[in-house]
Amino acid sequence: MGGDGMDGVGEQPAGLIRTRVPGWDRFAHWSALPARLLLLALLAILAASALVPIEARKDGVRTQGFVENLTADEAASTKQRDSDLALYDKAIARIQRGEHYYDFIVEEQRAARYPIRPGLAVRLPTLAYIDAWLGEGGQIAAAIALLIAVLLVWWRRLGEEPGGPDNRTMAMALLFVGASLGLNRYFFTLHELWAGMLLALSFGLHRPRLDRPGRWVASLLVAALALAIREHALPFVMLMAAFAFWRREWKEGAAWTALAALFLALLWVHLDIVAAQTLPGDEPSKSWLALRGLSGWLSNVVLSSNLRLLPHWIAGPLAVAMVFGWAGWRSPAGSFGTLLFLGYALAFMIAGRADNYYWGAVIAPPMFIGLAFAPRALVSLARAAAK
């Protein structure tokens, strides 16, 4: 019998009965001790996730944007447009009038009493130009097309991954729940929204080499656009490079590395332009090194996704279950997704203030797929722990 239990029965020693398990079940062959330790850790994190604060500000005042989920019409009628989004609205309008982004953005940000130092506090210009070119109707069409594309590529990838066909219907339904927030036009000027959907598309497009040459060019191009919109996509690109080198796909690894290097060079240009316009009296940004721990990660994911519609004590554990489901999925997608989501989880625990919760939109959409694999992963882990 093969190591993953999926081959033919073959000859068995007398009296030996083997239980056949799916080859994509990661915990099926674990020994009892590590399984028990992981199960205890999982239960502890699930309990903690139901109790820790999920908040957008330290004072408990809930911010607008994803939290209140206003429609564009509601925002216009109540004049409650989020100040971040209003700033991006102005940038788009000025580009549409023929102005150049770097000729006005520092001035606009200073007038709105937003920090300019460090230069990362000033957004990259890519999305402002795209939104200005598309207009409102084009943005709606692009959001619909992007959602359809994400669903289509994941339908195909789930059909090709071990265990994917068994869970494809449920996984697709959950992915729709995660990605549908991309259709909310109130947030069309928000960089994280588009970057997150593009990363979901890039992840679904990627095909690592197994028994045939990998397919990664389209994935890289989509990730490049996400990176040009928001630098928070850089960990995704770096992890892609690391996985490619680990598989000894030298050409692919070099391509992802070159993309990261090119982006860092262009980011340096962006920071240099902003620095040239910075005045000594400009207020610096508050530190992003907030060390918010589990609350920081859960707040980012829950408040920037449709989990925000659920009670706190349900939403928090579901976010943990998503990552656990990915961890239990023994496949190329499962391995990459597990490290990807754990990496962002660690980053959000360390960096990001409470009012930066919308950063979670960069990674939230594909996380929902993990819920389709979580029940079997839990049963498998429990069986391994009971050996």
Contact 335, 161 (CB under 8 A): no
In sequence order, what DSSP letters do the residues of 46-83 get, joined into one string?
Answer: HHHHTTS---SSTT-PPPSTTTTT--HHHHHHHT---H
User: Residue 78: inside a domain, yes or no?
Assistant: yes
Counting the structural domains of the chain, the total is 1
What is the C-alpha to C-alpha distance for residues 247 and 73, in angstroms, rounded to an integer?
50
One-letter amino acid of 256: W
Per-residue confidence (pLDDT) for residue 213, from 0 to 100: 56
User: Residue 94: inside a domain, yes or no?
Assistant: yes
Full pLDDT tens readout for the chain, 387 residues? 333 333 333 333 333 233 445 668 899 889 999 999 999 999 999 999 999 999 876 544 343 334 444 444 444 443 467 788 999 999 999 999 999 999 999 999 999 889 999 999 999 999 999 999 999 999 999 999 999 999 999 999 999 999 999 999 999 999 999 999 999 989 999 999 999 999 999 999 999 875 555 689 999 999 999 999 999 999 999 999 999 999 999 999 999 999 999 999 999 999 999 999 999 988 889 999 999 999 999 999 999 999 999 999 999 999 999 999 999 999 999 999 999 999 999 999 999 999 999 999 999 999 999 999 999 999 999 999 998
Q: 66: domain range? A: 32-385
Contact 222, 198 (CB under 8 A): yes
Contact 191, 229 (CB under 8 A): yes
Closest CA to 301 of 317, 324, 288: 317
- How is residue 141 written in tokens? 């069409």
What is the C-alpha to C-alpha distance for residues 45 and 30, in angstroms, rounded to an integer?
21
- How is residue 170 written in tokens? 């449920």
Q: Within 161-249, where are the H helices? A: 164-179, 191-205, 217-229, 234-246
The SS3 of residue 386 is coil
Contact 222, 201 (CB under 8 A): yes
Contact 188, 139 (CB under 8 A): yes
Per-residue confidence (pLDDT) for residue 5, from 0 to 100: 36
Contact 315, 305 (CB under 8 A): no
* 97 alpha carbon, distance to own chain's centre: 33
- How is residue 143 written in tokens? 């959001």
Residues with Cβ within 8 Å of 241's Cβ and at least 6 positions away in sequence, in order, are 253, 256, 257, 260
User: Residue 1: inside a domain, yes or no?
Assistant: no
User: Residue 22: inside a domain, yes or no?
Assistant: no
Phi/psi at 155 (nearest 5 deg)? -60, -40
- How is residue 295 written in tokens? 């609350």
User: Residue 21: inside a domain, yes or no?
Assistant: no
- CA–CA distances in Å: residue 94 to residues 20, 121, 130, 271, 375: 63, 20, 13, 21, 50
Specify the DSSP element, H or E, that contains 84: helix 83-96
What is the C-alpha to C-alpha distance for residues 197 and 203, in angstroms, rounded to an integer?
10
What is the C-alpha to C-alpha distance for residues 123 and 174, in angstroms, rounded to an integer?
31
CA-based diameter of the chain, in Å?
83
Per-residue confidence (pLDDT) for residue 80, from 0 to 100: 62
What is the C-alpha to C-alpha distance for residues 119 and 58, in angstroms, rounded to an integer?
25
User: Residue 12: inside a domain, yes or no?
Assistant: no
**Cβ-based neighbour number of residue 30 at 10 Å:** 18
What is the C-alpha to C-alpha distance for residues 211 and 101, in angstroms, rounded to an integer?
47
Per-residue confidence (pLDDT) for residue 316, from 0 to 100: 96
The SS3 of residue 351 is coil
What is the C-alpha to C-alpha distance for residues 208 and 169, in angstroms, rounded to an integer?
23
Closest CA to 208 of 239, 243, 162: 243
Question: Helix 126-160 to helix 164-179 angle, to the nearest 10 degrees?
Answer: 160
Per-residue confidence (pLDDT) for residue 20, from 0 to 100: 47
Residues with Cβ within 8 Å of 134's Cβ and at least 6 positions away in sequence, in order, are 141, 142
